[in-house]
Amino acid sequence: MSTIYLDYAATSLKHFDILKNTINELENIYANPSSNHTLGKKNNKLLNNARKYISQTINAKDSEIIFTSGGTEANNMIFNHILNSYESGEIIISNIEHSSIIECANKLEDKGFKIIKLEVNKDGVISLNHLKKVITENTVLVSIMLANNETGVIQPIDKIADIVKQHNILLHSDIVQAFGKINIDVKKLNLDFASVSAHKIGATNNFGFLYAKDSKITPLIIGGGQENNLRSGTSDVLGAVMLEKCLHRTLNSQKTLEDMKNYFITCLKNHKVSFEINGSNIHSLPNILNIYFKNIEAQRLITFLDANNIFISGGSACSSGSFKGSRIIASMYNDERAEKSVRISIGYYTTKEMIDITVNKIKELENRILMRGK
Ligand SMILES: Cc1ncc(COP(=O)(O)O)c(C=O)c1O
């Protein structure tokens, strides 16, 4: 039985062909990129070429890209920056942010900051009117993710920015899930900061970057002064080159992802599975589907597919385990719907055949439940 991996939003299948080629390329360039000799300089060039390519794809300057150990660290840098820049103030986030934002915000709340968590509607989108109402002259940061990791729903960051920038407030967006999957222009979105993770697009774990407008950010990790004194620690050239190459591949596969996602929905309809998509399917990423199966408990579906070598998830990886329902789907709808909703996230290696097999299995389980009444 071959494996069907449909949990790309937790982590993408690695692009092992790119990894192997990159390791071969780097085999003879093993020096520290900060070393002032020929090998070191060669490595430094690779690092900065990667930075240049990555920055251009989001319309940033290369000096605005600060490599980090991933999205979690980039998110932590933002809240550390706020803690270092202001004695108190109000921070606005949404209640569907990744745990690395929620936990950082909670920590600042303990330190005296006021945290406002905006709720989302059934489409999975925050209310701009609510944002307008809660923003005050005491607001120091607004941090709203570009696309959600469980629903794939895209927030109207450009409109959010219009409101936030009227007040001259810092705007951060966690663009971890959206990066590469949709085109992003940090200048058009008017972002001050954006966080990115490499393993979501098939590159290495524990790598990513923070985009910081005009490089204005307080370092979280200090030491050797790498990354222009903004993030210390010996630079990860393999991580950077992998990110560069995997980004190139991801940008070129957006249309295929979209087609595959639509094919999945069409197959479910053709098989007459009883389902609804959670959140807006119009403003959403081309690779994430969150589906409410009216007749099937999520945990049962996950276990059944798992036994058939098909891997999906109930929600974000951190909150999975024994699945009681996603907090995000529960906040958009209700607990009952959350208990019957799963996330299916596709990627570069997903084929129509894999989707056919998966949908057949889903229909098989639904039939079984309907026939036996359990
Ligand atoms: C929306 C979002 N933000 C942040 C992260 C954390 O990124 P990393 O795993 O690189 O620390 C993730 C990963 O699960 C995510 O989905």
- The finding on whether 239 has its CB within 6 A of some atom of ligand 1 is no
Residue with tokens 């992998």: 242
Q: Which residues of 176-192 are buried (b: 16+ CB within 10 A; e: fewer)?
A: bbbbbbbebebeebbbb
**Which of 222, 251, 280 is the endpoint of a domain?**
251
At residue 56, does pLDDT exceed 70?
yes
* Cα-to-centroid distance, 176 and ligand 1 (Å): 6
Ligand 1 atom with the shortest distance to the CA of 197: 10
Taking only the tens place, the pLDDT of each residue in 235-285 is 999 999 999 999 999 999 999 999 999 999 999 999 999 999 999 989 999
Nearest to 338 by CA among 284, 279, 286, 287: 279
The verdict on 108 and 217 lying in the same domain is yes
At residue 317, does pLDDT exceed 70?
no
**Local confidence band at 196 (pLDDT 50, 70, 90 cut-offs):** very high
The verdict on 247 and 297 lying in the same domain is no
At residue 320, does pLDDT exceed 60?
no
Total structural domains within the chain: 2
The verdict on 270 and 354 lying in the same domain is yes
* Cα-to-centroid distance, 37 and ligand 1 (Å): 36
Nearest to 212 by CA among 368, 65, 54: 65
Strands (E), the chain: 4-5, 65-68, 90-94, 114-118, 139-143, 170-174, 193-197, 208-212, 275-277, 288-293, 310-311, 341-345
The verdict on 150 and 131 lying in the same domain is yes
Look up residue 241 and give its two tokens. Answer: 């080159």
Please give the Cα distance from 205 to 200 (Å, whole number): 9
- The finding on whether 197 has its CB within 6 A of some atom of ligand 1 is yes
The best mutation among 69, 175, 182, 200 to test binding of ligand 1, ranked by most ligand atoms within 8 Å of the C-beta, falls on 200
Of the chain, the percentage scoring pLDDT greater than 70 comes to 97
User: What residue owns the CA closest to ligand 1's atom 7?
Assistant: 71
Look up residue 167 and give its two tokens. Answer: 């007040």
**What integer pLDDT is reported at residue 30 of this predicted model?**
82
Ligand 1 atom with the shortest distance to the CA of 9: 16
The best mutation among 151, 196, 197 to test binding of ligand 1, ranked by most ligand atoms within 8 Å of the C-beta, falls on 197
CA distances from 151 to 2, 160, 242, 269, 283 (A): 27, 19, 27, 19, 10
Question: Mean pLDDT, to the nearest integer, of 301-324?
Answer: 81
Ligand 1 atom with the shortest distance to the CA of 205: 10
CA distances from 57 to 61, 64, 189, 239, 330 (A): 10, 13, 14, 17, 35
At residue 9, does pLDDT exceed 90?
yes
At residue 81, does pLDDT exceed 60?
yes
At residue 201, does pLDDT exceed 90?
yes
**Which of 251, 271, 290 is the endpoint of a domain?**
251
**What integer pLDDT is reported at residue 322 of this predicted model?**
58
Question: Mean pLDDT, to the nearest integer, of 12-19?
Answer: 98
Burial of 325 (0-12, 13-18, 19+ CB in 10 A): buried
At residue 75, does pLDDT exceed 60?
yes
- Starting at the edge strand found earlier in the chain, the sheet holding 341-345 runs 275-277, 288-293, 341-345
Q: What is the sign of the dihedral through the CA atoms of 345, 351, 355 and 357?
A: negative
Burial of 317 (0-12, 13-18, 19+ CB in 10 A): middle
At residue 362, does pLDDT exceed 80?
yes
* Cα-to-centroid distance, 371 and ligand 1 (Å): 40
**What integer pLDDT is reported at residue 172 of this predicted model?**
98
Question: Are 93 and 118 a contacting pair, CB within 8 Å?
Answer: yes
Taking only the tens place, the pLDDT of each residue in 203-240 is 999 999 999 999 999 999 999 999 999 999 999 999 99
**What integer pLDDT is reported at residue 20 of this predicted model?**
97
Question: Mean pLDDT, to the nearest integer, of 103-125?
Answer: 97
- The finding on whether 148 has its CB within 6 A of some atom of ligand 1 is no
Report which DSSP code applies to 4.
E
User: In the predicted model, what is the mean pLDDT of the chain?
Assistant: 96
The verdict on 187 and 272 lying in the same domain is no
Nearest to 21 by CA among 250, 292, 213, 246: 246
Nearest to 83 by CA among 103, 64, 104, 99: 104
Question: Mean pLDDT, to the nearest integer, of 55-68?
Answer: 98
The verdict on 101 and 35 lying in the same domain is yes
Please give the Cα distance from 220 to 225 (Å, whole number): 12
Ligand 1 atom with the shortest distance to the CA of 317: 14
Q: Dihedrals φ, ψ of 275, to 5°?
A: -150, 160
* Cα-to-centroid distance, 72 and ligand 1 (Å): 6
**What integer pLDDT is reported at residue 1 of this predicted model?**
73
**What integer pLDDT is reported at residue 374 of this predicted model?**
58
* 246 carries an active-site annotation: no
Please give the Cα distance from 212 to 196 (Å, whole number): 11
Calculate Rg over the CA atoms of the chain: 21
The best mutation among 68, 149, 151 to test binding of ligand 1, ranked by most ligand atoms within 8 Å of the C-beta, falls on 149
- The finding on whether 100 has its CB within 6 A of some atom of ligand 1 is yes
- The finding on whether 149 has its CB within 6 A of some atom of ligand 1 is yes
Question: Are 287 and 9 a contacting pair, CB within 8 Å?
Answer: yes
The verdict on 236 and 351 lying in the same domain is no
User: What residue owns the CA closest to ligand 1's atom 4?
Assistant: 71
Please give the Cα distance from 197 to 174 (Å, whole number): 10
Residue range(s) defining the domain that contains residue 328:
4-13+253-372
The verdict on 30 and 60 lying in the same domain is yes
User: What residue owns the CA closest to ligand 1's atom 8?
Assistant: 71
Domain CATH number, residue 241: 3.40.640.10
Of the chain, the percentage scoring pLDDT greater than 90 comes to 94
- The finding on whether 71 has its CB within 6 A of some atom of ligand 1 is yes
- The finding on whether 145 has its CB within 6 A of some atom of ligand 1 is yes
* Cα-to-centroid distance, 366 and ligand 1 (Å): 32
At residue 321, does pLDDT exceed 60?
no
Burial of 312 (0-12, 13-18, 19+ CB in 10 A): buried
**Which of 228, 251, 274 is the endpoint of a domain?**
251
The verdict on 172 and 103 lying in the same domain is yes
At residue 32, does pLDDT exceed 60?
yes
**What integer pLDDT is reported at residue 28 of this predicted model?**
81
The verdict on 8 and 31 lying in the same domain is no
Please give the Cα distance from 296 to 285 (Å, whole number): 25
Assign 273 to helix, strand or coil: coil
* Cα-to-centroid distance, 266 and ligand 1 (Å): 30
The verdict on 91 and 185 lying in the same domain is yes
Q: Which of 104, 246, 267, 318 is catalytic?
A: 318
The verdict on 22 and 77 lying in the same domain is yes
Domain CATH number, residue 298: 3.90.1150.10
Using N-to-C axis directions, what is the helix angle for 16-26 and 237-252, rounded to 10°?
A: 140
Assign 114 to helix, strand or coil: strand
- The finding on whether 329 has its CB within 6 A of some atom of ligand 1 is no
